[in-house]
Amino acid sequence: GESVGLHLPTLSVQEGDNSIINCAYSNSASDYFIWYKQESGKGPQFIIDIRSNMDKRQGQRVTVLLNKTVKHLSLQIAATQPGDSAVYFCAEFEGGANSKLTFGKGITLSVRP
Amino acid sequence: DTGVSQNPRHKITKRGQNVTFRCDPISEHNRLYWYRQTLGQGPEFLTYFQNEAQLEKSRLLSDRFSAERPKGSFSTLEIQRTEQGDSAMYLCASSTVNYGYTFGSGTRLTVV
């Protein structure tokens, strides 16, 4: 999902359902990707990461999928809970001398009780 | 150590005034980053330190912005002659290697 201006795209899911958040990244040289969760008034919080030599990585209730062919990243959250409501960002990292993370524009996840 | 600490949490200033923010990274982290985040956007890279050396600066960091990390521990970000367009959340992060950033909760700047 991409956003324009001040309005982030929103994904609304029912509590207990699975959520899938998608991200298109831009740099084919990126070798490391991270998903962050950001709650209101707080800094981004690390969720899960994946290196470019992998296509899937699982954590607790979360899975990240990487498709380098189409430069696409997704975050799957199983059994979504109200506490998962937040803004989610994907970030890419080129590594080497370029040591900064470049963030996507974010998607708001809203969990309906 | 409870993580990356940023002060103040909020700052309201009049246009034209100077402001300074402080970041205390996780103690064993030698890398420190500053990012800026405006409403509805992802964080944007400003600058990066490895120990006390400032290794990279974004073109977003105009001449009015300066960052220091004099002893390789805490860092300060100063904005001179603030403008309304400087209103944003200023985030600090630290890490030990290229990966594994930990972010602070940020300083929210409002320029009136």
Give the position of tokens 């001449």.
B63
Between B101 and A38, residue with greater pLDDT: A38
A contact test, residue of B6, B41, B50, B57 with most A CBs within 10 A: B41
Buried b (16+ CB within 10 A) or exposed e, A59-85: eeebbbbbeeeeeebebbbeebeeebb
Residue A96: which pLDDT band, with cuts at 50, 70 and 90? low
Rounded to whole angstroms, the Cα distance separating A71 from A25 reads 6
Rounded to whole angstroms, the Cα distance separating B85 from B88 reads 8
Determine the pLDDT at residue B89: 97
Contact at 8 Å (CB) between A15 and A77? no
Q: Is the pLDDT of residue A1 over 60?
A: no
Q: What is the mean pLDDT of residues A88-98?
A: 80
Residues of chain B contacting A32 with CB distance shorter than 8 Å: 98-99
A contact test, residue of B103, B108, B109, B110 with most A CBs within 10 A: B103
Low-confidence residues of chain B: pLDDT under 50: none
Q: Which of A5, A43, A100 sits opposite B103 (nearest CB)?
A: A43
